[in-house]
Structure formats: structure tokens, C-alpha cells
Amino acid sequence: MIGVYNEVVGDVTEPHSASNNKVIVIPHVCNNVGAFGAGVALSIAKRWPHVQQKFFDFSKRFPNTDRELLMGMVLFVAAEKTACSTIHIANMFAQRGLRSSENKHPLEYTALTRAMADVVDTCNEMFGRDGFEIHCPKFGTALAGGTWKKIRPIIDSLWLGYGIDVTVYNFGG
């Protein structure tokens, strides 16, 4: 079974699910330097401050000399539980450093692919094969400097190919 891909206009921190019985997982790309205050991360921090704090606590375990070890890892944090849904954030460490004039494309596709595979494996373990769906921004394209043309085929292979439904949010159109 192939998953369903859907693009919508909206804020990923206010996901809309067609299925009330599935967990919503919101993966996004994070950097390996411990910054969590711009782009989608800022929206997540405003909506669920404890997610940002968990990110900081986790990142502090890796001193500057060990930041490379974060690449490809995923930090899952339960964000919210309501009467009709449960939301988990999947912080995918796939951005080496911060974007700058010297570092125009900090997204690492190999690390992203590993992290995306881990999202599937961990979600299958935590929620069951049919117990979750993915809602995400066009991660890796803005501050991380990646291109959707390269990221979308990874989604097709690793998520849709395993029957996972994916809704991508375009903020503001």
C-alpha cells in the first residue's frame, strides 16, 4: 500500500487530521549546534515551549567537539494530547551548523535520509504500523538551504513507499 501525499496551506503546528485515531508526527530539520529559535522551530517553541527545552537539554549532552554525532539522529518529544489527537515532534538533526554566507547549504542529505528512516522505525515501534501519519513543513528548504526537488523523492521512498500518509504544510501559501 502506498501512502497518500497531500499539500495544504497552513501552519504545521495546527495540524488537521482526517483520522482522529492516529498519532500526528511532525518531523522537521534541526541544526547540530543547539539553536532552536528560527523557522519552524520557532513556531514549535511558541506553541510547545517544552519541546524547545527538551531539544536544549538533549543538545547540551553533546559538547562542541561531539556535535557531529548528532547528525542523522532524531529526538522525539510528545508535544500535545487532546481529546481527538496526540502530537509528537520529530527533531531530525540534518543541518550542519547555521546557514550563513560561508555555509549556504548546511543541509546534509545523507543525515536527513538516516533521520527520516529513523522516524519510520521509531514511529512503527511506538505507535504501530498504521497508528500514525506525518504532518510536516517543507523541511530542509529554507534555513537549511536544501531543495524540495531532492527531498521529495526521499519522502516518496521512505514514507509514502511504506504506506505512511504525509501532509505537507505551506505556511501562507
Tens digit of each residue's pLDDT, the chain (173 residues)? 899 999 999 999 999 876 768 999 999 999 999 999 999 999 999 999 999 999 999 999 998 888 899 999 999 999 999 777 899 999 999 999 877 888 889 999 999 999 999 999 999 999 998 999 999 999 999 889 899 999 999 999 999 999 999 999 998 65
Per-residue cell: 102: 560561508
d(CA 67, CA 72): 11
Query: Which residue is associated with the grid cell 523541511?
Result: 139
Task: For residue 32, report the phi and psi dihedrals to the nearest 5 degrees.
Answer: -100, 15
Q: How far apart are CA 111 and CA 154, in angstroms?
A: 12
pLDDT score, position 114:
98
Domains of the chain and CATH, by start: 5-170 (3.40.220.10)
pTM summary value = 0.95
Grid cell in block for residue 11: 501552519
Cell 502530537 belongs to which residue? 87
Rounded Cα distance, 34 and 169, in Å:
25
